[in-house]
Amino acid sequence: MSDGDCEKCEELLQGYLDRDLTPAEVTIAEGHLGGCEYCRRRYRFEAQLRRYIRTTASERMPAGLMAKLTELRGPTADGL
């Protein structure tokens, strides 16, 4: 496996994780990942990292905010 192939794989990897590659690019990325331990480890790492960032940086709405938002609603018409 040449370094050029790993560079190409690195370039495609984010798009691959975003499912944003053309079918031809997917073939290149998967063909390379299938045979390259170095890139495969990095692929798994990147996938884990994505999930980790999403869960750790996500903060639930504070208690009490929903009540404040509900107060902003328009007047409720009778009989609805």
Q: What is the CA radius of gyration of the chain?
A: 23
* Residue 35 within binding range of another protein, rule CB under 8 A: no
How many residues bind to another protein according to rule CB under 8 A?
Answer: 37
Least distance to another protein, CB of residue 31, Å:
18
Burial, 62: exposed, middle or buried (Cβ in 10 Å; 0-12, 13-18, 19+)?
Answer: exposed
Q: Does 50 bind another protein (CB under 8 A)?
A: yes
Q: What is the CB neighbour count within 10 angstroms for residue 40?
A: 14
Token pair listed for 46: 């990147």
Residue ranges that bind another protein, judged by CB under 8 A? 10-11, 13-14, 18, 20, 38, 41-42, 44-46, 48-50, 52-54, 56-62, 65-66, 68-70, 72-74, 76-77, 79-80
